[in-house]
Amino acid sequence: MEPLRPSDFHDSEPERQIEQPRLGLSGWGRFFWRQLTNMRTALVLLLLLALAAIPGSLVPQRSSNPNGVIQFKREDPDLFAVLDSFQLFDTFSSVWFSSIYLLLFISLIGCILPRTNHHLKALRQPPPATPRNLQRLENFHSETLSGDPAVLRERAARVLKSSGYRTLEQPDGAAGERGYLRETANLVFHFALVGILLALGLGTGFKYQGQRVIVEGQSFTNQLTSYDSFNPGRFFSETGLAPYSLTLNRFTPTYQFDLASGRANPLDFAADVTVTEAAGSVTESIRVNSPLSVGGTSVYLLGNGFAPWVTVTSPSGDVVFSQPVAFLPQDSNLTSLGIVKIPDGLAQQIGLVGFFYPSAVVLESGAFTSVYPEPEQPLLTFNVFSGDLGLNEGVPRNAYSLDTEELTQRTGATTGVDSLVMNLGETAELPGGLGSVEFTALPRFVSVDIHRDPTQLPVGISSVLIMAGLVVSLFVTRRRAWIRIVPGKAKESVVEFAVLARGDDPGLEQALKKLVADFSQGAESKLKSS
């Protein structure tokens, strides 16, 4: 039985133009359904899908490159507004992209459900009986062999069966068909694609992903308030967070200095952490390419840098600020930018905009730069701003930026006062006798991403099925074969062999030769072959 195919499958009979009766509502419904599930529609939708994905690579996407989107908006707000109205910054969740793939999947399901039903029936049916005139087939061979026709008939069935054909014994020989697996695998492939879509549709809501900066010696507890940023799925609930904590004991980067280019090439980043769960504590190492699995989540090492410990003391000797401050790396030699905000304890609110150079050298212009990402010559500089930091209004502020517009600059630039410059362990005086700043210590920090993604397993399983289905369906061939025994005079019989391709079959001739060889091998004696 032939696998069921859409009406415009290349091998099928073209539809005849018939006088159509007036279509009722259900008639139109059937018409559209047929259109949607035919090959041409699927093909056009596939090509449209490829086309529709292109903008996702040309324009920065909110999902993969949010900073690029912000930059785009800043540089060309007018174009941004136009493109944004077409959802071009969210290509892969846009209405147009979604409608293409949803239609494609509806078309796919509409195609494979009837095919599955049909295939299940075909699997229960015997192969087609031997045609009357085998010699008319293109791949035909006959041999004259001696032997009892009944024995030869039995042999015919055995040979077909051992070559993997589903075999039907016939009064005059045997008929076989093979390659049912091709259709099975093809259906598995397409169902697995649907499986991916379902897994994404159902599982995405239960995903969560959060980021957190952890300084050496500090701990992170897996609860909502501990995250620096957090993106929950629609069905996320806080009780779903697995209870555990991570302590960063030590972060160890390894670099190799390349003399030729003068660049430091990173060789390894390793974060040694202590993981504490209800059951107890263990020490683990998180590396790039080697995330930590804990409590159903994965913890990835995504970034690292220095967190200079800054201590600010008031003129009266009270410590008003003393903690490590994560400085964000700006280049590959870890020249880093950091912000310190002191709203209380000094005569004025103070904001510090700092640069940290792990291996500082002075350029001809007088500016500093870092020439190596390791702390060979650590140097911390601050420009001091005073005024209202805006922290009293209850508006959330980004800890990594300082809006200096409303503030008064007290050092650097045109103020005539030198910026604060400190080596490790040194102290610098704030201008105007406001107090002093000490570069106390130099711990490192890592930024980790913590994910829980329940879609991983079903998508993984679907991918395996996709790969298996694809390989089997593309490389298994469907083929029919017949062996007929025509008893002749005395103990001679003419044995006719024929094979027929069902679809693309490069190995057809070879298959016929093998069938003949298998049959003749061990047969009593070969008399004549033609």
Partner 1 sequence: MTDFAALSLVGVYSAMLVYTASFLFFTFDLAKRSAAAPVPSLVSVGSGASAPEDERPVPRAGGTGYQRIAVTLLVLGFVFHLLATLGRGIAAGRVPWANMFEFGLTASALIVAVFLGSLFWRDLGYLGAFVSGFVLLALGVVTVNFYVDVVPLPPALQSGWLVIHVFVASLATAFFALGAGLSIFQLVRARFEARGMAKAKLMKTLPDSGALESLAYRLNVIGFALWSFTLIAGAIWAERAWGRYWGWDTKEVWTFIIWVLFAGYIHARATRGWRGSRSAILAIVGFGAVLFNYTVVNIAFTGLHSYSGL
Is 257 near partner 1 (CB under 8 A)? no
- With CB under 8 A as the contact rule, the residue among 34, 166, 341, 451 that binds partner 1 is 451
The CA radius of gyration of the chain, in Å to the nearest whole number, is: 37
- Work out how close the CB of 284 gets to partner 1 at its nearest, in angstroms, rounded to a whole number: 15
Residue 332, amino acid: S
Q: 212 is written with which tokens?
A: 């957190």
Please work out, in degrees rounded to the nearest 5, the angle formed at the alpha carbon of residue 321 by the alpha carbons of 356 and 377.
25
Q: Quick one: CA torsion of 420, 426, 431, 432, rounded to 10 degrees?
A: 180
- With CB under 8 A as the contact rule, the residue among 110, 232, 291, 373 that binds partner 1 is 291
**Contact string 462-481 vs partner 1 (x = CB under 8 A):** -x--xx--xx--x-------
Detail the DSSP E strand segments found in 224-296: 229-232, 245-258, 263-277, 280-287, 292-294
Nearer to partner 1, 10 or 16 (CB): 10
What residues have CB less than 8 Å from 23, skipping those under 6 apart? 31
- Work out how close the CB of 259 gets to partner 1 at its nearest, in angstroms, rounded to a whole number: 11
Query: In Å, how far are 81, 168, 174, 241 from 158, measured between CA atoms?
Result: 73, 10, 9, 61
Nearer to partner 1, 164 or 460 (CB): 460
- With CB under 8 A as the contact rule, the residue among 76, 268, 388, 403 that binds partner 1 is 268
For 346-364, letters b (16+ CB in 10 Å) and e give: bebbbbbbbbbbbbbeeee
Q: 481 is written with which tokens?
A: 């074969």
**Contact string 203-222 vs partner 1 (x = CB under 8 A):** ------x-------------
**Contact string 26-65 vs partner 1 (x = CB under 8 A):** -------------xx-xx--xx-xx--xx-xxx-xx-xxx
Q: Which stretch binds partner 1 (CB under 8 A): 128-136, 264-272, 311-319, 366-374?
A: 264-272
Q: How far apart are CA 45 and CA 48, in angstroms?
A: 5
- With CB under 8 A as the contact rule, the residue among 125, 223, 231, 265 that binds partner 1 is 265
Tell me the site size for partner 1, rule CB under 8 A: 60
Q: How far apart are CA 289 and CA 94, in angstroms?
A: 31
**Residue 183 forms beta bridges with which residues?**
none
- Work out how close the CB of 9 gets to partner 1 at its nearest, in angstroms, rounded to a whole number: 6
**Contact string 2-21 vs partner 1 (x = CB under 8 A):** ---x--xxx-x-x-------
Q: Where are the alpha helices (DSSP H) in 90-179?
A: 95-123, 149-162
- Work out how close the CB of 54 gets to partner 1 at its nearest, in angstroms, rounded to a whole number: 7
- Work out how close the CB of 237 gets to partner 1 at its nearest, in angstroms, rounded to a whole number: 22
Nearer to partner 1, 60 or 308 (CB): 60
Going by C-alpha positions, the residue among 492, 520, 508, 501 that lies closest to residue 144 is 492
Binding site for partner 1 (CB under 8 A): 5, 8-10, 12, 14, 39-40, 42-43, 46-47, 49-50, 53-54, 56-58, 60-61, 63-65, 68, 91-92, 209, 256, 258, 260-261, 263, 265-269, 287-291, 298, 300, 302, 449, 451, 453, 456, 459-460, 463, 466-467, 470-471, 474, 504, 506
